[in-house]
Structure 1
Amino acid sequence: MDRFRVRARALRARRTSAEDRLWQALRDRRLASWKFRRQHPINGYVVDFVTIAGKLVVEVDGATHGTDAEIVRDALRTGRIESLGFFVMRITNTDVYDNLEGVLEAIDAQLAGS
């Protein structure tokens, strides 16, 4: 098994509570019948959520994504994933906790436009 699949499996086992909350809303085609995968390897990165058919990656970002170094790293990662034809949507933990319905509406709207 390649190292990205091993890493993805480990990340699925220790997901954050925000990721778990969003996953409960996305799994089993619960959002407009879109099939989502969690902690899925794409081109050397493990993304939080992806719908391959909709070409959408959803990243749930916590406080660690606010430093200058992390912002630069995330921008590079986003650019590389988007170069493969995906759109990367970044959601904060706070949005998942405080406005899950709004997050789901934003994801659905992005997919409706794809």
Structure 2
Amino acid sequence: MYFLPYNRSLRDFSRELRNHSMLSEILLWQKLRAGSFRGYSFNRQKPLGNYIVDFYCKKLNLVIEVDGDSHFYDEVFLNDVMRQDALEKMGLYFLRFSDIEVKKQMNSVLAQIGFYIDDWEALHLK
């Protein structure tokens, strides 16, 4: 993987997002933080290029996004598609969950993240 650009001008906004997270982001962070999910380290509200992603694991090249209700509006949805496309061109992979999924189906969300990790490990840890 090559170097991903870090936009320093997003650092303060990233901190603000961490301090005003949605409940679903906080709940998922409790499962992912400090290498507690299968030993992989995740960052929260991480600036990558000109964007800030909800969760990022450098080792896995994985971005996890938690979408609230606002992401279902056409304009926001189209911005998400363009943003994801730009980040995927940097070699990143995405898992996207709804706010409700994280709150009501956490085991399923964690299983999907686990399936991604299983596939990654099968390819990279032979």
TM-score by length of 2: 0.87
1:18 and 2:58 aligned: no
Aligned to 1:92: 98
CA distance in 2, matches of 1:63, 1:12: 19
Query: How many residues matched?
Result: 114
Cα distance per residue 1:67-112 (max 9 Å; x no partner): 1111110000000111111101110010001110110110111122
Q: Partner letter of residue 86 of structure 2?
A: R
Aligned to 1:101: 107
Structure 1 vs Structure 2 CA RMSD: 1.1
CA radius of gyration, larger in: 2
Secondary structure of the 1:53 match is: coil
- What is the identity percentage for the equivalent residue pairs of Structure 1 and Structure 2? 31
For residue 60 of structure 1, the aligned residue among 56, 66, 69 is 66
Give the ranges of 4+ consecutive aligned residues of structure 1 lying more than 4 Å apart after TM superposition.
none
1:32 and 2:32 aligned: no
Gaps of 5+ in 2: 1-6, 121-126
- Residues 56, 111 of structure 1: 8 Å contact kept: no
